[in-house]
C-alpha cells in the first residue's frame, strides 16, 4: 500500500514550481533574482571569509587589554612616513617588506603577545603568518589597523 503524501509538502512543491515558472516568464525576473542572490552573497562573504582567515584578529578594545594586562608588543607595518605621522604608543616600526629580514630583531619579544597592525588591517595577516612560521606563538592582527584605532578615539603618538 503506497504511503499517503503529506499535503503540506505537496503545497510547498507547487509553490516552488510556480515561483520557477514566474522566473522563466521574463528575462528581467531572472536578472533581478540573480541580482538579489549576488547581493546577498556579498553581504555574507565578510563573515564567511573571517572564519577561514588564518590567525586571530582582535579589535581595539581587546588590543588595549593585551597591551595593559599582558605587556603586548605592537608591530606597525606601515611606511616610515605614515609611522612618523602617528602611531600606537610604544609600537615597534617594521615595514611590511622588512618583516622577514628583521625576524632576528623581534626574537626578544617571542615570549610576549604581538599585535600586528597596518593602515587598515588588510596586509597584516601575511606578516602575522610569517611570524608564526618562525615560532612566534601569540600573534594577533589588529582588526581595522591604525585607522580603526583612530576611529575608536584612542591616542596616537608622534
Residue 76 φ then ψ, to 5°? -95, 120
In what side-by-side order are the strands of the sheet with 56-58?
Answer: 56-58, 139-142, 114-117, 73-76, 92-93
Of 87, 137, 95, the closest CA to residue 112 belongs to 137
Residue 155 φ then ψ, to 5°? -75, 150
pTM, two decimals, is 0.69
Q: Render pLDDT for 109-158 as a digit per residue (tens, 0 to 9).
A: 999 999 999 998 888 988 998 999 999 989 999 999 999 999 999 999 98
- Pairing label, strands 139-142, 114-117: parallel
Q: Render pLDDT for 67-106 as a digit per residue (tens, 0 to 9).
A: 999 999 999 999 999 999 999 999 999 999 999 999 999 9
pLDDT tops 70 at residue 4: no
Q: Render pLDDT for 32-60 as a digit per residue (tens, 0 to 9).
A: 999 999 999 999 987 787 666 656 889 99
Q: What is the pLDDT, as a whole number, of residue 48?
A: 80
Residue 66 φ then ψ, to 5°? -65, -40
Amino acid at each position: 500500500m503506497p504511503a499517503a503524501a503529506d499535503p503540506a509538502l505537496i503545497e510547498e512543491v507547487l509553490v516552488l514550481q510556480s515561483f520557477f515558472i514566474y522566473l522563466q516568464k521574463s528575462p528581467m525576473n531572472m536578472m533581478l533574482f540573480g541580482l538579489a542572490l549576488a547581493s546577498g552573497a556579498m553581504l555574507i562573504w565578510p563573515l564567511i571569509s573571517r572564519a577561514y582567515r588564518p590567525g586571530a584578529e582582535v579589535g581595539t578594545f581587546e588590543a588595549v587589554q593585551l597591551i595593559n594586562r599582558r605587556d603586548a608588543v605592537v608591530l606597525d607595518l606601515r611606511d616610515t612616513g605614515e609611522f612618523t605621522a602617528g602611531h600606537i604608543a610604544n609600537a615597534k616600526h617594521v615595514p611590511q617588506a622588512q618583516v622577514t629580514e628583521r625576524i632576528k630583531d623581534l626574537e626578544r619579544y617571542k615570549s610576549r603577545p604581538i599585535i600586528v597592525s597596518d593602515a587598515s588591517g588588510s596586509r597584516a595577516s601575511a606578516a602575522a603568518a610569517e611570524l608564526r612560521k618562525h615560532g612566534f606563538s601569540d600573534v594577533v592582527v589588529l582588526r581595522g589597523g591604525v585607522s580603526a584605532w583612530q576611529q575608536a578615539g584612542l591616542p596616537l603618538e608622534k
